[in-house]
Amino acid sequence: MAFEKDFNLDVTELRLGLPGTSEESEKQASTTLRISNKRAMPDMNEDSSVAADKKCDQETAPPTKAQVVGWPPIRSYRKNSLQTKKTEAETCGMYVKVSMDGAPYLRKIDLKMYKGYPELLKALEEMFKFKVGKYSEREGYNGSEFVPTYEDKDGDLMLVGDVPWEMFINSCKRLRIMKGSEARGLGCVV
Amino acid sequence: MESSELKRSKDSVNSCESARRSSFPDEVLERVLSLLKSHRDRSSVSLVCKDWYNAERWSRTHVFIGNCYSVSPEIVARRFPRIRSVTLKGKPRFSDFNLVPENWGADIHAWLVVFAAKYPFLEELRLKRMAISDESLEFLAVSFPNFKALSLLSCDGFSTNGLAAIATHCKNLTELDIQENGIDDIGGSWLSCFPESFTTLEVLNFANLTSDINFDMLEKLVGRCKSMRVLKLNRSVSLEQLQRLLVNAPQLAELGTGLFSQELTIREYEELESALSNCKNMHTLSGLWDATGMYLPALYLACTHLTFLNLSYAALQSVELAKLLAHCPQLKRLWVLDSVEDKGLEAVGLNCPLLEELRVFPADPFDNEIVHGVTEAGFVAVSFGCPRLHYVLYFCRQMTNAAVATIVQNCPDFTHFRLCIMNPGQPDYLTNEPMDEAFGAVVKTCTKLQRLSVSGLLTDLTFEYIGRYAKNLETLSVAFAGRSDWGMQCVLGGCPKLRKLEIRDCPFGNAALLSGLEKYESMRSLWMSACNVTMNGCRLLAREMPRLNVEARGGMPHHLSLLSEMLGTRQTENY
């Protein structure tokens, strides 16, 4: 599929711009970040605009309940076993949380279970009951109601499919299925 | 206890004497009574008359002490002169969940000192929730030349150095069973302390330990212990090493594998499969850390006669579990992680008609954001396929009253029903009502119920039901439940066989606590934490019941533990 190919780093200058964002703030965004060929959302910077802040609030998952001592009642030994497994899995970058805008709960998947993007997308579609449109390098998932994105090791928001699969599973920290309207600009060549 | 027994038996002494003169020498009575194994039967026997009391105490070889503070080691030794095997339990169960303060007590050492003097031929020691130091383990190892079996479950205070002492000195050891302890794992060299001439080991369980052991030493040890029937390895043992061990120990009845994940060649895989299937006696399988679909098929042939499968350290998906269970038709006990989800449990219902026990543990219990695990649907599916189910431990994220009613209708023989709806105080998710009717159905339908753990949103009605219907209930665990003192009063006023009651974070106060005075005499223990009991309530209780050991901690006592039948003195430490 189209997104399996390596992309030409020089030709594509990748930046995220929200509808209505000025050229200036975009430039600001790209200069405060490390030089990279990645897209960045303005609200990932310290200089985020008010609009971006509001957006952040919406993105935040429901606040985690304070953990109660000794609950659920699981023996320390088993608890420690789980923690070890969790830490191991997380440092390997295999288990990632998946959230979808509008859904109250997250899911967790093991990226190692999938051989490539088609399998992953199919699994996400089944999990969250949505359909993703056709991907193209130029236009991303143009026309989709929902768009799969992910947060990588550097904290940048990326479109699922833009980088080769191996690079993706090694750098993906968290998946987020965004509303198509909000993802406009992700994946657009300026 | 002794004096009241003598008083009671005065009347029957005469009749006993005449019976004795006519037919029964003491030796015969002792011989007959020595065949009695159940400690409850023995308790009953000892109450018949003075002769039977004596015959029983002379013939008893195993003593079970459910609460180490209920009696002193001196009194035990005085009553039972011929003990070879001791089982002791210490801390309240909630210590497993970090609710009991450190240094609470339950130290074994004082017991060992008495045993060394009075029971030099002691063979077995099984401890649960006791504190045991390396010094104590060393003392044990050198004090009892006939020592055979050591089992430590949920204990703490020791390190692998203590195990080294046991391996070094216990020449007749048949059993070393180290399970789920707070052990300081310094290294694996303890295993190498078994002498080369040592061949008697039958049970070796070190699954709990994380350090690498010397595999060569282990291989040699397993090779020369021809009577070994239980071998539970730790994670450090690889699949390839497992195969080598099994080739020399096909007689194993219980196997705990090490890590079940490794790159194997086809030939290595086939060798593993062959070694596993050669274990014709294998009825219990555990370990299987990090097992994935890739190598589970190696187990298929070995599972034909399996009765207990513990997958609680392998986060399997539903499809993998289903495929595996298709090969386990004889399964009676199954432990899994909730990663198998409801679909996996449907497979349980379809493949395991003989199932008696199911435990579903949460794979990700502390991450509140994640939607995970099993729901009422999985439990219901199992109940339809497994009518013999009588023991369940089920961690889930949602439940309904209707589902539980269906479950107990399908499986009315529950003896142990432990349901943990993981979000405290959560109602029936469909009707938004409390879960009272669910537990009402359980106690009304399951007349054999011995152990119950409740959860979800519960009013006092749940406890009314329990008090009224749970005639055989011995152990009750309650958390984040109830509305008023009335709830606890119902339980203490009903449940004729109640022995252990543990309560946390419930609105039960002094009135409830003090309503159980009569009840506490027949109970083993009561635990209350984060309830509405006050220090004055505890003082009043202690005053009213001088034979009870009442401990309270904190200003508004955060922890109150009530240990009955105080015949020794509890050494109070400064908290």
Confidence of residue B51 (pLDDT cuts 50, 70, 90): confident
Q: Which two tokens stand for residue B124?
A: 């077995």
For B81-139, the three-class secondary structure string (H helix, E strand, C coil) is CCCCEEEEECCCHHHHHCCCCCCCCCECHHHHHHHHHHCCCCCEEEEECCECCHHHHHH
DSSP state of B267: H
Interface-testing mutation among A108, A129, A175, with chain B (most B C-beta atoms within 10 A): A108
Among chain B residues, the shortest Cα distance to A64 is held by: B368
CB contact under 8 A, B99 and A69: yes
CB contacts under 8 A, B 277-316 vs A, are 290, 312-313, 315
Handedness of CA A167, A168, A169, A172 (dihedral sign): positive
CB contact under 8 A, B97 and A65: no
pLDDT tens digits for range B421-470: 999 999 999 999 999 999 999 999 999 999 999 999 999 999 999 999 99
The pLDDT score that the predictor gives to residue A189 is 34
Residue B12: other Cβ atoms inside 10 A: 15
The pLDDT score that the predictor gives to residue A90 is 59
- Give the gap in angstroms from C-alpha B424 to the nearest C-alpha of chain A: 9
- Give the gap in angstroms from C-alpha B369 to the nearest C-alpha of chain A: 6
Average pLDDT of every residue of chain A: 66
Stronger pLDDT, B48 or A133, i.e. the higher one: B48
Spatial separation of the C-alpha atoms in residues B456 and B190, rounded to whole Å: 45
DSSP state of B289: B
Closest of B107, B161, B158, B104 to residue B130, by C-alpha: B107
Stronger pLDDT, B549 or B566, i.e. the higher one: B549
pLDDT tens digits for range B409-421: 999 999 999 999 9
pLDDT at B299 over 90: yes
Please write down the long-range contacts of B4-13, taking CB distance under 8 Å and 24 or more positions apart.
B5/B46, B5/B47, B5/B50, B5/B53, B6/B50, B8/B47, B9/B48, B9/B49, B9/B50, B9/B53, B12/B48, B12/B49, B12/B50, B13/B49, B13/B50
Spatial separation of the C-alpha atoms in residues A175 and B527, rounded to whole Å: 44
The pLDDT score that the predictor gives to residue A129 is 78
Q: Which residues in chain A touch residue B182, judged by CB atoms under 8 angstroms apart?
A: 76-77
Spatial separation of the C-alpha atoms in residues A187 and B473, rounded to whole Å: 64
Spatial separation of the C-alpha atoms in residues B225 and B509, rounded to whole Å: 57
- Give the gap in angstroms from C-alpha B497 to the nearest C-alpha of chain A: 24
Among chain A residues, the shortest Cα distance to B418 is held by: A73
A121-156 core/surface letters (b: 16 or more CB in 10 A; e: else)? beebeeebebebeebebeebbeebebbbbbbbeeeb
Confidence of residue B28 (pLDDT cuts 50, 70, 90): confident
pLDDT tens digits for range B106-134: 999 999 999 999 999 999 999 999 999 99
CA distances from B506 to B94, B124, B509 (A): 15, 40, 9
Q: Which residue among B98, B368, B504 places its CB closest to the CB of A76?
A: B98
pLDDT tens digits for range B309-363: 999 999 899 999 999 999 999 999 999 999 999 999 999 999 999 999 999 999 9
Cβ distance B179 to B152 under 8 Å? yes
Interface check for A71 against chain B (CB to CB < 8 A): the answer is yes
Least confident of A114-118, B165-169, B244-248: A114-118
CB contact under 8 A, A75 and B504: no
CB contact under 8 A, A71 and B424: yes
How large is the average pLDDT for residues A144-172? 88
Q: Which amino acid is at A142?
A: N
Interface check for A82 against chain B (CB to CB < 8 A): the answer is yes
pLDDT tens digits for range B201-220: 999 999 989 899 999 999 99
Q: Which amino acid is at B445?
A: T
* Helix/strand number for chain B, H first, E second: 21, 22
- Give the gap in angstroms from C-alpha A61 to the nearest C-alpha of chain B: 8
Least confident of B18-22, B292-296, B364-368: B18-22
CB contact under 8 A, B361 and A74: yes
- Burial class, B315, CB count within 10 angstroms (exposed 0-12 / middle 13-18 / buried 19+): buried
pLDDT at B172 over 90: yes
Closest of A65, A81, A149 to residue B337, by C-alpha: A81
Average pLDDT of every residue of chain B: 90
> Cα Rg for chain B, rounded, in angstroms?
25
Q: Which residue among B94, B180, B290 places its CB closest to the CB of A77?
A: B180
Spatial separation of the C-alpha atoms in residues A83 and B25, rounded to whole Å: 62
Q: Which residues in chain B touch residue A67, judged by CB atoms under 8 angstroms apart?
A: 366
CB contact under 8 A, A108 and B362: no
The pLDDT score that the predictor gives to residue A107 is 81
SS3 content of chain B, % helix, strand, coil (to 5): 40, 20, 45
Per cent of chain B over pLDDT 70 is 91
Interface check for B363 against chain A (CB to CB < 8 A): the answer is yes
The pLDDT score that the predictor gives to residue A92 is 57
CB contact under 8 A, A62 and B369: yes
CB contact under 8 A, A70 and B181: no
Q: Which two tokens stand for residue B304?
A: 């034909």
CA distances from B393 to A102, A173, B419 (A): 34, 34, 6
Interface-testing mutation among B336, B368, B375, B421, with chain A (most A C-beta atoms within 10 A): B368
Per cent of chain B over pLDDT 90 is 72
pLDDT tens digits for range B352-392: 999 999 999 999 887 766 677 999 999 999 999 999 999 99
Interface check for A58 against chain B (CB to CB < 8 A): the answer is no
Residue B94 sits at the vertex; the CA angle it makes with A65 and B125, to the nearest 5 degrees, is 145
ipTM of the predicted structure? 0.84
Interface check for B424 against chain A (CB to CB < 8 A): the answer is yes
User: CB under 8 Å to B255, separation ≥6 — which residues?
Assistant: B231, B232, B246, B279, B282, B284, B285, B286, B287
Spatial separation of the C-alpha atoms in residues B542 and B533, rounded to whole Å: 13
Cβ distance B425 to B456 under 8 Å? yes
Q: What is the end-to-end Cα distance of chain A in Å, rounded?
A: 23
Residue B294: other Cβ atoms inside 10 A: 14
User: CB under 8 Å to B497, separation ≥6 — which residues?
Assistant: B471, B472, B473, B474
Starting at the edge strand found earlier in the chain, the sheet holding A146-152 runs: A107-110, A95-100, A172-179, A146-152, A157-159
CB contact under 8 A, B312 and A85: no
Confidence of residue A190 (pLDDT cuts 50, 70, 90): very low
- Give the gap in angstroms from C-alpha B311 to the nearest C-alpha of chain A: 13
CB contact under 8 A, B315 and A64: no
In residues, how long is chain A?
190
Q: What is the model's pTM? A: 0.78
Q: How far is CA B124 from the centre of its chain?
A: 18
Interface check for A60 against chain B (CB to CB < 8 A): the answer is no
CB contact under 8 A, A69 and B365: no
For B509-545, the three-class secondary structure string (H helix, E strand, C coil) is EHHHHHCCHHHHCCCCEEEEECCECCHHHHHHHHHHC
Interface check for B371 against chain A (CB to CB < 8 A): the answer is yes
Q: Which residues in chain B touch residue A61, judged by CB atoms under 8 angstroms apart?
A: 369
Q: How many CB pairs under 8 A join A and B?
A: 73
Cβ distance B138 to B147 under 8 Å? no
Interface check for A76 against chain B (CB to CB < 8 A): the answer is yes
B374-394 core/surface letters (b: 16 or more CB in 10 A; e: else)? bbbbbbbbbbebbeebbbbbb
CB contacts under 8 A, A 102-161 vs B, are 105-108
Instruction: Report helix, strand or coil for B550.
Output: strand
Interface check for A97 against chain B (CB to CB < 8 A): the answer is yes
Instruction: Report helix, strand or coil for B30.
Output: helix
How large is the average pLDDT for residues B281-299? 92
CB contact under 8 A, A73 and B422: no
Closest of B118, B176, B113 to residue B142, by C-alpha: B113
Q: Which residues in chain B touch residue A62, judged by CB atoms under 8 angstroms apart?
A: 369
CB contact under 8 A, A77 and B422: no
CB contact under 8 A, B362 and A72: yes
pLDDT at A17 over 60: no
- Give the gap in angstroms from C-alpha A111 to the nearest C-alpha of chain B: 14
Q: Which residues in chain B touch residue A86, judged by CB atoms under 8 angstroms apart?
A: 364
How large is the average pLDDT for residues B132-160? 96
* Residue found under tokens 């750098």: A171
Q: Which residues in chain A touch residue B180, judged by CB atoms under 8 angstroms apart?
A: 75, 77-78
Closest of B563, B492, B484, B472 to residue B526, by C-alpha: B563
Confidence of residue A48 (pLDDT cuts 50, 70, 90): very low
- Give the gap in angstroms from C-alpha B98 to the nearest C-alpha of chain A: 6
Among chain A residues, the shortest Cα distance to B360 is held by: A74
Q: Are strands B175-179 and B203-205 parallel, antiparallel or unpaired?
A: parallel
Q: Which two tokens stand for residue B554?
A: 């904190």
DSSP state of B338: G
pLDDT tens digits for range B253-271: 999 999 998 888 999 999 9
- Give the gap in angstroms from C-alpha A83 to the nearest C-alpha of chain B: 9
Interface check for B527 against chain A (CB to CB < 8 A): the answer is no
Among chain B residues, the shortest Cα distance to A65 is held by: B368
The pLDDT score that the predictor gives to residue B366 is 79
Q: Which amino acid is at B399?
A: M
Spatial separation of the C-alpha atoms in residues B369 and A67, rounded to whole Å: 12
Least confident of A1-10, B24-33, B37-46, B507-516: A1-10
